């Protein structure tokens, strides 16, 4: 019997605000000495009262709007009680039955076409303190306690580890476009839990789910889901049953490991937070937030794809706002000069992205403007330099910030398209290589590439490759 996996994701993202969620402490605690960003409120001292951070509420609602959520006019905070040392108050201020945003969706492009992933809710809460386990003690750093945190929960609509990974990438892209979170998983600014169950193919009843925590990278999300769904299938195949538990992903052992039995909502003894008033939103304010959303990545990618750019490349170019705006400028400059959008996209996703990743640089740091990138592409299009020379020229432009034309002139890189001169070289190469010439004549296509290589070497890579091929063929056939 075949099985399918059913996956729902819960993602926590730290919100980029200046102050914490319920006090005036700075939320930017990276690198600060432990416990230096604290006050009576975020330390949970008796009598200290919370005040809600409006910027965090706004960021959460903007995220909900970007995920096509409903924003109910009324929302409130609730206390979620649990006795861990990372919670100074003994409870976390969160949202239970009336979240800020609900019933949204995110469209994923997958190999099986477009998939709608329903978003159940986006709510706002506070982050916990950080526990640092030592061999003989556990230290607590409260700098993180009270940092605004949003939680984005999907319906159980994901079906494969790959889809779950794509969902996270797409979600992070939206968070970054909105500027509401860095989305950096390595730094813990975005953390996720995957809920996984399996069921026989063709059935619709949900199986018992296991929740997996400690997923600190896209890779571990994919690996943990793949591992856990296989594990559950094996349990069921052997006649056993899956227990509803919380597991962790052990990166080293490469397996999911039991952490604790599942806790249920009643374990948390939720009740409305009495120290904060409920939120009643002015519809005009929500409308204003909706109007102020930037163009979202899906729309940017769709615009690029309409220009004929392959959907996967369009998505790469829409990956982040600075890349997208660079691409926008390059594409419009290119269009003015009659250069295909696909040609520009190929240069960007190929040479440019490679250089960026090799140099660990981001596009807003490079000295090559979209206009000068297009100018170098135009030199290939009009035959001034060939493709391979252009790659080297672009790398030098990126290294030095110089423009293409001056590099080409200084190094004498202009393409040789002089038919008579090339014909002379071609004849000389054929005469000097009677073996390969004979091989080609007797049907060995590969011999032509060898001869092309010789001509290119002779011309120090500057010959017009199309013309050389044509001349070689004519000489050898003739």
Q: Which residues bind ligand ADP (CB under 6 A)?
A: 6-10, 153-156, 195-197, 206-207, 209, 265
Q: Which residues have CB under 8 Å from 256's CB, separation 6+?
A: 210, 212, 224, 227, 228, 231, 247, 248, 249, 250
The Cα–Cα gap between 477 and 358 comes to: 44
Q: Smallest distance from the beta carbon of 192 to ligand ADP, in angstroms?
A: 10
Residue nearest to ligand ADP as judged by C-beta position: 8
**SS3 state at 60:** helix
Q: Is there binding between residue 39 and Zn ion (CB under 5 A)?
A: yes
Quote the least distance from Cβ 297 to ligand ADP, whole Å. 22
The residue within the footprint of Zn ion, chosen from 5, 6, 9, 42 (CB under 5 A), is 42
Q: Least distance in Å: CB of 229 to ligand ADP?
A: 10
| Conformational region of residue 177, where left means phi above 0, alpha means psi within -120 to 50, and beta covers everything else | alpha
23 near Zn ion, judged by CB under 5 A: yes
- Least Cβ distance, residue 344 to ligand ADP (angstroms): 40
Complex with ligand ADP: residue 157 or 319, whichever CB lies closer: 157
CA nearest to 475, candidates 411, 404, 435, 422: 422
Choices 20-28, 167-175, 435-443, 461-469 (CB under 5 A): range interacting with Zn ion = 20-28
Contacts of 365 (CB under 8 A, 6+ apart): none
Rounded Cα gap, residues 135 and 138, in angstroms: 8
Q: Any contact of residue 52 with Zn ion (CB under 5 A)? A: no
40 or 200: CB nearest Zn ion? 40
β-pair type (271-272, 255-261):
unpaired
Residue 124 near Zn ion by CB under 5 A: no
Return the closest-CA partner of residue 246 out of 226, 230, 224. Answer: 224
State how far the Cα of 319 lies from the Cα of 176, in Å rounded to an integer.
9
Q: Is 25 in the site for Zn ion (CB under 5 A)?
A: yes
220 makes contact, choosing from Zn ion, ligand ADP, none, with CB < 5 to 8 Å by partner type, with none
Q: In 3D, which of 123, 111, 371, 155 has the Cα closest to residue 270?
A: 123
421 binds, among ligand ADP, Zn ion, none (CB under 5 to 8 A by kind): none
CB of 91 to Zn ion, least distance (A): 16
Picked from ligand ADP, Zn ion, none, the partner binding residue 197 (CB below 5 to 8 A depending on kind) is ligand ADP
Distance of CA 441 to the CA centre of its chain: 52
* Cβ proximity of 330 and 370 under 8 Å: yes
Least spacing, CB of residue 56 vs ligand ADP, in Å: 22
Which of ligand ADP, Zn ion, none binds 50 (CB below 5-8 Å, type-dependent)? none
Let me know the angle formed at the C-alpha of 270 by 269 and 273, rounded to the nearest 5 degrees.
130
Q: Which does 39 bind (CB under 5 to 8 A by kind): ligand ADP, Zn ion, none?
A: Zn ion
Smallest distance from ligand ADP to CB 199, Å: 8
* β-sheet bridge partners, residue 9: 194
Q: Which does 8 bind (CB under 5 to 8 A by kind): Zn ion, ligand ADP, none?
A: ligand ADP
H helix runs in 382-445, sequence order: 387-400, 404-411, 419-432, 434-441
Helices (H), 179-266: 218-237
| 231 vs 414 by CB, closer to ligand ADP | 231
List interacting residues with Zn ion (CB under 5 A). 23, 25, 39, 41-42
């Amino acid at each position: 019997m075949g099985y399918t996996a059913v996956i729902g994701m819960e993602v926590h993202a730290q919100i980029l605000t200046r102050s914490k969620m319920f006090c005036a402490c700075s939320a930017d605690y990276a690198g600060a000495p432990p416990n230096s960003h604290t006050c009576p409120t975020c330390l949970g001292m008796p009598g200290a009262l919370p005040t809600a951070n409006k910027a965090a509420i706004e960021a959460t609602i903007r995220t909900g709007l970007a995920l096509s959520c409903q924003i109910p006019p009324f929302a409130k905070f609730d206390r979620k009680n649990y006795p861990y040392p990372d919670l100074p108050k003994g409870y976390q201020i969160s949202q239970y039955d009336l979240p800020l945003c609900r019933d949204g969706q995110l469209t994923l492009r997958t190999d099986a076409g477009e998939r709608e992933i329903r978003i159940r809710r986006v709510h706002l809460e506070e982050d916990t303190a950080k526990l640092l386990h030592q061999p003989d003690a556990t230290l607590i750093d409260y700098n993180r306690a009270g940092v605004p945190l949003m939680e984005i929960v999907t319906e159980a609509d994901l079906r494969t580890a790959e889809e779950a990974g794509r969902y996270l990438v797409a979600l992070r892209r939206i968070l970054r476009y909105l500027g509401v979170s860095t989305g950096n998983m390595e730094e813990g600014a975005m953390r996720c839990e995957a809920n996984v169950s399996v069921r026989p193919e063709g059935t619709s009843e949900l199986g018992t789910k296991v929740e997996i925590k400690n997923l600190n990278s896209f890779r571990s999300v994919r690996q943990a889901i793949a591992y856990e769904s296989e594990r559950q299938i094996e349990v069921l195949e052997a006649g056993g049953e899956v227990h509803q538990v919380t597991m962790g992903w052990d990166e080293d052992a490469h397996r999911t490991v039991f952490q604790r039995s599942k806790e249920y909502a009643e374990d948390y003894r939720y009740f409305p937070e009495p120290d904060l008033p409920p939120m009643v939103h002015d519809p005009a304010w929500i409308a204003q937030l909706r109007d102020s959303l930037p163009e979202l990545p899906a729309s940017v990618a769709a615009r690029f794809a309409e220009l004929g750019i392959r959907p996967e490349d369009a998505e790469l170019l829409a990956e982040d706002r600075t890349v997208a705006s660079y691409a926008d400028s390059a594409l419009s400059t290119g269009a003015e000069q009659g250069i295909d959008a696909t040609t520009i996209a190929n240069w960007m996703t190929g040479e440019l992205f490679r250089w960026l990743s090799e140099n660990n640089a981001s596009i807003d740091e490079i000295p090559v403007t979209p206009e000068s990138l297009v100018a170098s592409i135009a030199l290939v299009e009009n035959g001034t330099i060939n493709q391979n020379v252009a790659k080297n020229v672009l790398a030098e432009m990126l290294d030095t910030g110089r423009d293409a034309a001056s590099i080409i002139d200084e190094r004498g890189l202009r393409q040789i398209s002089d038919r008579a001169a090339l014909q002379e070289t071609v004849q000389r190469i054929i005469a000097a290589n009677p073996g390969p010439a004979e091989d080609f004549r007797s049907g060995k296509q590969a011999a032509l590439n060898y001869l092309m290589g010789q001509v290119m070497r002779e011309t120090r890579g500057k010959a017009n490759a199309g013309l050389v091929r044509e001349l070689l063929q004519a000489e050898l056939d003739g």
